[in-house]
Chains A and B, each alone.
Chain A
Amino acid sequence: MKHFNATATVRFKKSVLEPQGKAIQLSLAEKGSHEFSLVRVGKYIEVELEAVSLEEAKQKMEKIAGDMLYNDVMETCEIHVQEVAI
């Protein structure tokens, strides 16, 4: 078995209300920083896993992402997988 580090970056779709980013943007504007026209907060999920190959590790990540890590009604998800030497 090989070891992998994976990340899933989960973002709200542009059409979906994302209040934390909006609050940050308003806070910046209150301090006089009006150049930040959009702030969006998402999730960054780190996973360590074992698999026989990079391809299998990616498949495993895509499976849990679709099943659980993000909801395609409101979010998108980007996955990166990298082999690590133990």
Chain B
Amino acid sequence: MKAAILTFPGSNCDQDLVSALKTEYQIEAELLWHTRAFDVAHDIYFVPGGFSYGDYLRTGALAAQSRSLGSLREAAAKGKPIVGICNGFQILCEAKLLPGALIRNENLQHICEWVGLKGDGDWRGVYPDGYALPVSHGEGNFICSADDLKSIQDNGQALLRYTQNPNGATFDIAGLASANKRVIGLMPHPERALKEQPDAAVSKARFGRLFFEKIFSLVSA
């Protein structure tokens, strides 16, 4: 499997993804710098977390205008799986590859904790009770128009929902798919949930694997 990770000035979770893919799945991911267009020759694309362009203008707004995003649009048009994590989710929304936008958390705080999640929509029942992943964000409060929300609900696009909403997100949305289910954005960090967690509940250990397995199934689909 050929994987690629788009990187921008201010990305800071790209190496976590590189490490996760290499250590857990023996996948060598190619890093794609924002200034260059690329050939759509990979099986899956990741847009990592961080603070691209220092969150200037709006989170993800300037990254969405970059040259590499032009190529990512081609990848999306070809139906390649694309996964945006945290800032990556914000970038995919700004690029209009996903509906809606992510604004400041309702409590105005940066939230860094494990959050309970459940699969919904197309992923209903995919994850066990007590499923959780870590989040770390200041702008994870998902909003969208009433029309978009109806489409999201009708098409089963809200793949991951918080069991206890930490940030005010509409419909408790933590992870969202495009209408064709090939572009996925999520605020939680599955790449940070692959190692045994000595100080976390045993049940939380390696929950990231369940996410990646689901994602990799998109490659062959």
Mark B187-201 against chain A: 1 for CB-CB distance below 8 A, else 0. 000000000000000
User: Quick check: B101 and A73 within 8 Å, CB to CB?
Assistant: yes
**A86 proximity list for chain B (CB < 8 A):** none
Minimum CB distance partner of A74 in chain B: B101
Q: How far is the CA of A23 from the CA of B65 in the complex (A)?
A: 31
Contact-residue size bin, chain B (C-beta under 8 Å from the other chain) = 10 to 19
Minimum CB distance partner of A73 in chain B: B101
Q: How far is the CA of A52 from the CA of B120 in the complex (A)?
A: 53
Q: How far is the CA of A71 from the CA of B100 in the complex (A)?
A: 9
Q: Is the contact region of chain A dominated by helix, strand, or loop, or is it mixed?
A: loop
Minimum CB distance partner of B93 in chain A: A73
User: Quick check: A71 and B106 within 8 Å, CB to CB?
Assistant: no
Mark A13-47 against chain B: 1 for CB-CB distance below 8 A, else 0. 00011010000000000000000000000000000
Please tell me the number of chain A residues within 8 Å of chain B, measured between CB atoms. Answer: 9
**A73 proximity list for chain B (CB < 8 A):** 93, 100-101, 143-145
CB distance from B92 to the nearest CB of A (A): 13
Q: B62, B65, B108: which contacts A19 (Cβ < 8 A)?
A: B108
Contacts of A63-86 to chain B: CB distance below 8 A: 67-69, 71, 73-74
Q: Is the contact region of chain B dominated by helix, strand, or loop, or is it mixed?
A: loop
CB distance from B127 to the nearest CB of A (A): 28
**B141 proximity list for chain A (CB < 8 A):** 17
Q: How far is the CA of A67 from the CA of B61 in the complex (A)?
A: 10
**A68 proximity list for chain B (CB < 8 A):** 57, 61-62, 65
Judge if B181 is at the interface, Cβ distance under 8 Å: no
User: Quick check: A71 and B143 within 8 Å, CB to CB?
Assistant: no
Mark B46-62 against chain A: 1 for CB-CB distance below 8 A, else 0. 00000000000110011
User: Quick check: B94 and A71 within 8 Å, CB to CB?
Assistant: yes
Judge if B209 is at the interface, Cβ distance under 8 Å: no
Q: How far is the CA of A16 from the CA of B103 in the complex (A)?
A: 8
Contacts of B57-108 to chain A: CB distance below 8 A: 57-58, 61-62, 65, 93-94, 100-101, 103-104, 106, 108
Mark B residues whose CB is within 8 Å of A: 57-58, 61-62, 65, 93-94, 100-101, 103-104, 106, 108, 141, 143-145, 168
* Nearest 4 interchain pairs by C-beta: A73-B101, A19-B108, A74-B101, A71-B101
Mark A residues whose CB is within 8 Å of B: 16-17, 19, 67-69, 71, 73-74
With contacts A17-B141, A71-B94, A73-B93 known, what are 8 further pairs, Cβ within 8 A?
Answer: A16-B103, A17-B103, A17-B104, A17-B168, A19-B108, A71-B58, A73-B100, A73-B144
